[in-house]
Amino acid sequence: MTRDEKIRQLELTIDEFYRQKQISPDLTEAILYSLQAGGKRLRPLLLLELIEGFGLELTRAHYQAAAALEMIHTGSLIHDDLPAMDNDDYRRGRLTSHKKFGEDMAILAGDSLFLDPYGLLAKAELPSQVKVDLIAELSQAAGTFGMVAGQVLDMQGEGRDSSLEELKRIHANKTGKLLTYPFVAAALIAGAEPLIQDKLRRIGQLLGLAFQVRDDLLDVTASFEELGKTPQKDLAAAKSTYPALLGLEEAAAFFNDCLDQAAVLLTDVERSAVFSGTEIKKIIEGLRLNG
């Protein structure tokens, strides 16, 4: 199955979940507006490719797990764009949720996307312990001990200089943990041994860090058409970023080094387990700014 076919199946899974029963069609419309706005679907694709890398055939339950992850991510984008947060009018080339539906509906759509994934995961046809572990890991990645805490640290860092270690801590949580989740979740679904789980978690952490550095670099160098959102927002908000701290050239070198380390570790996993990292390596290489 190609990546495009996987994305289509993922989107069908999401649409099926929200169309099965509607109490408020207006809420469903707002939710699907953001979910159907496009994007690379990087996080769910990583999860699906990793599951296949372990030699498993993709099932409906796997797509539900991937959908749950994309729902959390999309909810975070809706809330990030709100006036009280990053205050952006565009996301993925079109009006943000609060500009389209109003702040009240955008907040509630984000709330739904933070809560619904756990019900979706709970109903997936996976072993009970695997579901419990997936739900626990997703909560850790998304909430007070992950993405939300990272967002708070990021806001508190505006207008002041942060050290490299402080910046890493911010983004390990804000961006990194939700990008680490596919690696951990796939290992749990495949029943990988703890050592392999640890190595995959580290790959996810490196990829999460690289992705944030990439985002910082693009914020400075890319256009609205390339980004699909307002460029140089971090500069306007006086946020601490990798280019601001390290300079463009050194930040780019740091970004590539993170990707290189992830690729080396992935090869190590291939040697240690029944696993193929070919598709994940393609995704890693596709993130390079010259790729």
CATH architecture of 3-287: Orthogonal Bundle (1.10)
Report the pLDDT value the prediction gives residue 235, as an integer from 0 to 100.
55
* First-to-final CA distance of the chain: 23
Q: Are 172 and 208 in contact (CB under 8 A)?
A: yes
Q: Is the dihedral of CA 140, 107, 19, 12 positive or negative?
A: negative
pLDDT digits (tens), the chain, 291 positions? 899 999 999 999 999 999 888 899 999 999 999 999 988 899 999 999 999 999 999 999 999 999 999 999 999 999 999 999 989 999 888 999 999 999 999 999 999 999 999 999 999 999 999 999 999 999 999 999 999 999 999 888 887 778 889 999 999 999 999 999 999 999 999 999 999 999 999 999 999 999 999 999 998 887 666 666 666 665 555 567 899 889 999 999 999 999 999 999 999 999 999 999 999 999 999 999 874
Report the pLDDT value the prediction gives residue 291, as an integer from 0 to 100.
46
Q: Are 180 and 205 in contact (CB under 8 A)?
A: yes
Q: In 3D, which of 112, 88, 85, 116 has the Cα closest to residue 30? A: 112
Q: Are 27 and 107 in contact (CB under 8 A)?
A: no
Report the pLDDT value the prediction gives residue 224, as an integer from 0 to 100.
64
Give, as one character, the DSSP assignment of residue 289.
Answer: T
Report the pLDDT value the prediction gives residue 231, as an integer from 0 to 100.
65
Domain ranges (residues) in the chain:
3-287
Q: In 3D, which of 156, 207, 222 has the Cα closest to residue 47? A: 207
- pTM (two decimals): 0.93
CA separation for the pair 135, 139 (Å, rounded): 6
Q: Where does residue 73 fall: left (phi above 0), alpha (psi -120 to 50 degrees), or beta otherwise? A: alpha
